[in-house]
């Protein structure tokens, strides 16, 4: 029995590899990044030619996975929760086309927004697309669910969504692994128009999706991941899902209670099990990480006399991630008073690293904008979002990948001239290119700063799909070559950089300034590796 010490993310990756994966596709995003990284570092994956390079964004990742599935092979797509918004179009439609080779979409939610702009709950996407959703409570379940997930994906010819949250993604535990399954041979769909979603065929395909719903419910009813634990104290029944199960068990181990417990790990919800717990208990407590989705399904709009406690009635806070203490308090367990944090302790927010090229870019931008009214810099998602905080306070927005350029364009359309967009290299190729095309076609008076640190920095320095291509992309999209300026963000170049920015701010059209200098973190890593390589020679 082989036991590995794995993060939740790594358990998903190992599970996929062992379940006969042929290709994994992803764009980095906390807390999902380590899934693809693990496959990239796997010797077995390399030897068996499992695809594992980064995609330009989550949509391209999802579509490539769909192509892999079309060809009959098993595919994995990984992303953070907001990445599923980007991939939503192919994701929803993949439920209509159906899968040929098994497809699992792993989406990692970030309740409490440790590293995200919202805490949306991916389970709703599963319900929306009408595909099975798996929600592991442990690293072992995450691993096992990959095997099971590919089985049901191929059995019902439907993609499967695997939903985890931050704590499971980044928590390590022992995982018992199974024997490796062989990859599928290439085999195209028997129905040559299965993937042609012309209305006439889409209607047919949609009926097929509707037709498998009762089977998916039966599958949930019989699933090893939906478990009913009998209990003698029927004054309360507890429905718990995902990692919240661990917090419940922590409290059960400490304070022996004997309420019936229904543990949910697979959706659509197992209706008979829900009927049983609601039928035999006076009251129901729902404990779920994320939005009150199960809770809402139980009560509906009218409640129908069912007494349900959870996030809606304030038993559990409406927002934020759970922990053992929140669950204890929901159970009415009296806690002793913990020690207090001394008043003098102050928070230590994340900050740009010493020597970070963005620091020089923001200093130059601030000086170049000096004299203009404030509030005209739209930005994006990456380390440079920290430029919103003191001491820089250089940017005024961060909404979604690529929104800096389009928002600057819209604001310029409204008369805010000049408008500035500040976007990173990898974010630019993720979702900024089409935005720039809109601005070029409209001759919008905007200045776009593409901060090129030659990596996807915030998630730990992954390959940037933009590497070495930015000027050519901008030129290709129609930006006037004279207004594509590459600068080096260094202290010694400060005055020149300010001058160049001012020139472009004064230009009544689309300009692109590319401050280019490598991220200090990846540079240090590379220098270290080089030194090591030299020493070993």
Partner 1 sequence: MKKDIIIAGVGGQGIVSIAAIIGYAAVEAGLFLKQSEVHGMSQRGGEVSSHFRLSDKEVASDLIPQGKADIIISVEPMEALRYLPMLAPGGWVITNSKPFINIPNYPDIDLILGEIENLPNHLAFDADNVAKELRATKSANIVLLGAASPFLDIDYVKLENAIRLIFGRKGEAVVNVNLDALKKGRDYAETYQLTASI
Applying CB under 8 A, the residues found at the interface with partner 1 are: 3, 5, 30-31, 33-34, 114-115, 167-168, 170-174, 243, 246-247, 249-250, 252-253, 323-325, 328, 335-336, 338-342, 344-353, 383, 386, 458-460, 532, 535
Q: In what order do the strands lie in the sheet with 21-26?
A: 21-26, 74-80, 103-109, 160-165, 133-134, 266-267
Closest approach of Cβ 96 to partner 1, in Å? 34
Residues 6+ apart with CB under 8 A from 190: none
Of residues 525, 485, 526, the one with CA closest to residue 502: 485
Closest approach of Cβ 225 to partner 1, in Å? 17
Q: Please, how many CA atoms are within 13 Å of residue 73, restricted to the half-sphere of its CB?
A: 20
Q: How far apart are CA 378 and CA 381, in angstroms?
A: 11
Closest approach of Cβ 528 to partner 1, in Å? 9
Residues 6+ apart with CB under 8 A from 340: none
Q: Which residues, in sequence order, are bridge partners of residue 164?
A: 108
Q: Which is closer to partner 1, CB of 172 or CB of 234?
A: 172
Q: Which is closer to partner 1, CB of 325 or CB of 493?
A: 325
Residues 6+ apart with CB under 8 A from 135: 123, 162, 163, 164, 225, 241, 242, 264, 265, 266, 267
Q: Which pair of tokens denotes residue 513?
A: 């300034």
Q: Which is closer to partner 1, CB of 67 or CB of 460?
A: 460
Length of the chain: 537
Q: How far apart are CA 502 and CA 479, in angstroms?
A: 18
Closest approach of Cβ 426 to partner 1, in Å? 15
Closest approach of Cβ 170 to partner 1, in Å? 5
DSSP 8-class letter at 456: B
Closest approach of Cβ 5 to partner 1, in Å? 6
Q: Which is closer to partner 1, CB of 248 or CB of 273?
A: 248
Q: Which is closer to partner 1, CB of 224 or CB of 306?
A: 224
Q: How far apart are CA 248 and CA 316, in angstroms?
A: 13
Q: Which is closer to partner 1, CB of 203 or CB of 526?
A: 526
Closest approach of Cβ 247 to partner 1, in Å? 5
Q: Which is closer to partner 1, CB of 301 or CB of 339?
A: 339
Closest approach of Cβ 128 to partner 1, in Å? 27
Q: Which is closer to partner 1, CB of 242 or CB of 402?
A: 242
Please count the other Cβ atoms lying within 10 Å of the Cβ belonging to residue 195: 20
């Amino acid at each position: 029995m082989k036991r590995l010490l794995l993060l939740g993310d790594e358990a998903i990756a190992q599970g996929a590899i062992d379940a006969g994966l042929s290709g994994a596709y992803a764009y980095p995003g906390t807390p999902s990044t380590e899934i693809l990284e693990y496959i990239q570092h796997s010797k077995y994956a390399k030897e068996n030619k499992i695809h594992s390079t980064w995609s330009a964004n989550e949509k391209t990742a999802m579509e490539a996975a769909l192509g892999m599935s079309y060809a009959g092979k098993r595919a994995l797509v990984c992303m953070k929760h907001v990445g599923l918004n980007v991939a939503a179009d192919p994701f929803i439609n993949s439920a209509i086309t159906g899968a040929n080779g098994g497809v699992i979409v792993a989406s990692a939610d970030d309740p409490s927004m440790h590293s995200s702009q919202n805490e949306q709950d991916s389970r709703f996407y599963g319900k929306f697309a009408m595909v099975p959703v798996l929600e592991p409570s442990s690293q072992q379940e995450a691993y096992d669910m990959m095997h099971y997930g590919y089985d049901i994906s191929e059995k019902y010819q439907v993609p499967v969504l695997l939903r985890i949250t931050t704590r499971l993604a980044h928590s390590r535990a022992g995982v018992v692994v199974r024997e490796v399954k062989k990859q599928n041979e290439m085999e195209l769909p028997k129905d040559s128009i299965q993937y042609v979603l012309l209305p006439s065929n889409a209607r047919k395909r949609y009926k097929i999706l509707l037709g498998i719903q009762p089977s998916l419910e039966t599958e949930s009813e019989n699933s090893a991941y939906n478990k009913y634990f009998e209990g003698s104290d029927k004054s309360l029944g507890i429905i718990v899902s995902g990692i919240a199960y661990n917090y419940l068990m922590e409290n059960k181990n400490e304070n022996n209670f004997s309420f019936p417990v229904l543990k949910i790990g697979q959706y659509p919800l197992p209706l008979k099990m829900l009927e049983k717990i609601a039928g035999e208990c006076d009251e129901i407590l729902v404990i779920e990480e994320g939005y009150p989705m199960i809770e809402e399904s139980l009560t509906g709009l009218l409640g129908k006399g069912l007494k349900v406690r959870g996030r809606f009635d304030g038993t559990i806070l409406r927002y934020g991630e759970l922990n053992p203490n929140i669950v204890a308090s929901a159970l009415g367990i009296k806690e002793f008073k913990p020690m207090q944090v001394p008043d003098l302790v102050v928070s230590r927010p994340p900050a740009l690293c010493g020597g970070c090229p963005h620091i020089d870019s923001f200093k130059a931008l601030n000086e170049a904008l000096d004299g203009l009214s404030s509030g005209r810099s739209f930005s994006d998602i990456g380390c440079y979002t920290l430029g919103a905080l003191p001491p820089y306070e250089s940017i005024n927005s961060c909404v979604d990948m690529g929104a800096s350029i389009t928002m600057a364009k819209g604001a310029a359309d409204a008369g805010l001239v000049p408008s500035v967009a500040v976007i990173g290299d990898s974010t630019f190729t993720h979702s900024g290119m089409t935005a720039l095309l809109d601005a070029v076609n409209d001759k919008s008076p905007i200045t776009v700063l593409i901060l090129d640190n030659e990596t996807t920095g915030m998630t730990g320095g992954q390959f940037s799909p933009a590497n070495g291509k930015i000027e050519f992309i901008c030129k290709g999209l129609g930006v006037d070559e004279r207004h594509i300026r590459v600068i080096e963000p260094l202290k010694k170049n400060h005055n020149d950089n300010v001058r160049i920015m001012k020139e472009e701010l004064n230009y009544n059209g689309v300009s692109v300034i590319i401050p280019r200098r490598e991220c200090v973190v990846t540079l240090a890593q590379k220098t270290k590796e080089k030194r090591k390589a030299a020493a070993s020679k």
